[in-house]
Chains A and B, each alone.
Chain A
Amino acid sequence: QVQLVESGGGVVQPGGSLRLSCAASGFTFSSYGMNWVRLAPGKGLEWVAFIRYDGSDKYYADSVKGRFTISRDNSKNTLYLQMNSLRAEDTAVYYCAKNQGLSDYEQFDYWGQGTLVTVSS
């Protein structure tokens, strides 16, 4: 069965950095686009970033562009999110989510359980 397991969350000071990981299993990871989505306290879901199956294309929300970098290691079945210059407003639960199909127009069919990032001094 498909499993996505995030890790790497924690408490970090404003301006600091953190790298999240998402370990995937139960499907051919190297065939699917992957996403990061976050849920801030008291807010709604916000899409953060996407990476194509082979890493050739990446897209970002304006709120994180230039500060966050999405990447993947298909040999390790792992998705990453490098977060730099963190701000209080980046405090959220971060989920990795798998595209359902192989096209450029895909919904997210599997999600991890999330990892909490808290940016605070």
Chain B
Amino acid sequence: AIRMTQSPSSLSASTGDRVTITCRASQDISSYLAWYQQKPGRAPKLLIYAASTLQSGVPSRFSGSGSGTDFTLTISCLQSEDFATYYCQQYYNYPRTFGQGTKVEI
């Protein structure tokens, strides 16, 4: 199985900050990489797919980059509603695998 490793596991930030989360795959997954946001008690929400394509309706302060094994999610100007846990996920092969999550806290 492809191992997805996110860093950091958690971070503290303030509204208005620029936040960067990285995700590394244990093998080349091309651009078959998605990012999800999850808030407590809520279902995950798709933010970005194909490593850098913004899902419809997602604010443009979210962006993704990378290919191969190294990927990045950036939130350009953190808003109060962005405090959540973020997961990367590869869909290159089965089993699909998620990173362990990055909790963004105030």
Chain B: interface secondary structure? loop
Please give, as numbers and ranges, the residues of chain B lying within 8 Å of A39 by CB-CB distance.
Answer: 38
Stretch of B13-21, B69-77, B87-95 lying at the A interface: B87-95
Q: Who on chain B is nearest to A113 by CB?
A: B43
A35 touches B96 (CB 8 A): yes
The total of chain A residues at the interface (CB under 8 A) is: 24
Q: Indicate which residue in B1, B91, B100, B101 contacts A62 across the interface (CB closer than 8 Å).
A: B1
Please give, as numbers and ranges, the residues of chain A lying within 8 Å of B50 by CB-CB distance.
Answer: 107
A108 touches B46 (CB 8 A): yes
B43 touches A47 (CB 8 A): no
B44 touches A44 (CB 8 A): no
Chain A: interface secondary structure? strand
Interface residues of B in 58-106 (CB under 8 A from A): 85, 87, 89, 91-92, 94-101
A111 touches B44 (CB 8 A): yes
CB-CB contacts of A62-89 with B at 8 A, as 1s and 0s?
1000000000000000000000000000
Distance (whole angstroms) from the CB of B36 to the closest CB of chain A: 7
A112–B44 Cα gap in the complex (Å)?
9
Q: Who on chain A is nearest to B42 by CB?
A: A113
